[in-house]
Amino acid sequence: MTAAGAIRVLVIDDHTLFRRGLISLLADDARFNVVAEAGDASEAYRRAAATQPDVILLDNHMPGVSGVDALPGFKQVAPAARVLMLTVSEDERDLAAALRGGACGYLLKTMDSDMLAAAILRTMAGDSVVSPEMTSKLVRAFQSRQGTAPAATVVVDPDPIHSLSPREREILALIARGASNKEVARELGIAETTVKIHVQHILRKLNLSSRVQAAVYLAGRPE
């Protein structure tokens, strides 16, 4: 059952099996309501105009008009919708073109369902989201457009823990003590789903793949 106030999503992908699988996945999460689907840009424009979704999940490689080229049209037919590219393309040119065209994020189809849900929620909160694998390519795309800054002006912090927010550090410390998401949520007085999103951000920022690695990482740091 879809919850009241659920995020209304339009799914656009020319591969029927992937599209149906994605719709099924989102349907299992009460925070989302898939209001329409489409297999090409022309159909997508009609669906977007009719349903006025909150979020559009848009593939790039489609027949006829590509997802990147279709972006301006969505601004006309559904101006309030936030568009997230969901694609297999890791080409930095596609990434740069999508963000210049007004996409709120660029996600790879290899991401897991929890990360996709978190990305949609962050987009609704006003954030721009890019798959971690594309971050370095985003930097290169920006540098090629703006010109690379002189090396002397670039300061790189070698310790990724400094990229964590105070809340993320609190959660990391609790994870290192063996606390579950539910226990962390109770300890900090926040929702368990919020903890889950924070954990994903922590792992991404520290370039780790599991809670165990996060605990080992913290345990191995000097006091």
> What integer pLDDT is reported at residue 148 of this predicted model?
46
Q: Which residues contact 196 (CB under 8 A, 6 or more apart)?
A: 114, 118, 181
Higher pLDDT residue, 151 or 40? 40
> What integer pLDDT is reported at residue 207 of this predicted model?
81
What average pLDDT does the chain have? 84
CA dist 24 → 29, 37, 138, 208 (Å): 9, 12, 31, 29
Q: Indicate the CATH number for domain 157-219.
A: 1.10.10.10
Q: Are 18 and 26 in contact (CB under 8 A)?
A: no
In the predicted structure, residue 42 carries a pLDDT above the cut 50: yes
Q: Which residues contact 195 (CB under 8 A, 6 or more apart)?
A: 171, 181, 184, 185, 188
pTM for the predicted model, two decimal places: 0.63
CATH 3.40.50.2300 domain position(s) in the chain: 7-143
Q: Indicate the CATH number for domain 7-143.
A: 3.40.50.2300
> What integer pLDDT is reported at residue 103 of this predicted model?
93
> What integer pLDDT is reported at residue 205 of this predicted model?
79
CATH 1.10.10.10 domain position(s) in the chain: 157-219
What's the pLDDT band for 151 if we cut at 50, 70, 90?
very low
Beta-bridge partner residues of 85: 58, 106
Note the pLDDT tens digit of each residue in 156-198.
Answer: 345 677 777 788 888 999 988 888 889 998 999 888 887 887 7
DSSP letter string, the chain:
-PPTTPEEEEEE-S-HHHHHHHHHHHHTSTTEEEEEEESSHHHHHHHHHHH--SEEEE-S--SSS-HHHHHHHHHHH-TTPEEEEEES---HHHHHHHHHTT-SEEEETTS-HHHHHHHHHHHHTT--EE-GGGHHHHHHHHHHHH-PPPGGG----S-GGGGS-HHHHHHHHHHHTT--HHHHHHHHT--HHHHHHHHHHHHHHHT--SHHHHHHHHHTS--
Residue located via tokens 């191995």: 220
Note the pLDDT tens digit of each residue in 90-132.
Answer: 888 888 889 888 999 999 888 888 889 999 999 998 888 888 7
Beta-bridge partner residues of 57: 11, 84
Note the pLDDT tens digit of each residue in 10-35.
Answer: 999 999 999 999 999 999 999 999 99
What's the pLDDT band for 149 if we cut at 50, 70, 90?
very low
Rounded distance between C-alpha atoms, residue 121 and residue 54, angstroms = 11
In the predicted structure, residue 7 carries a pLDDT above the cut 90: yes
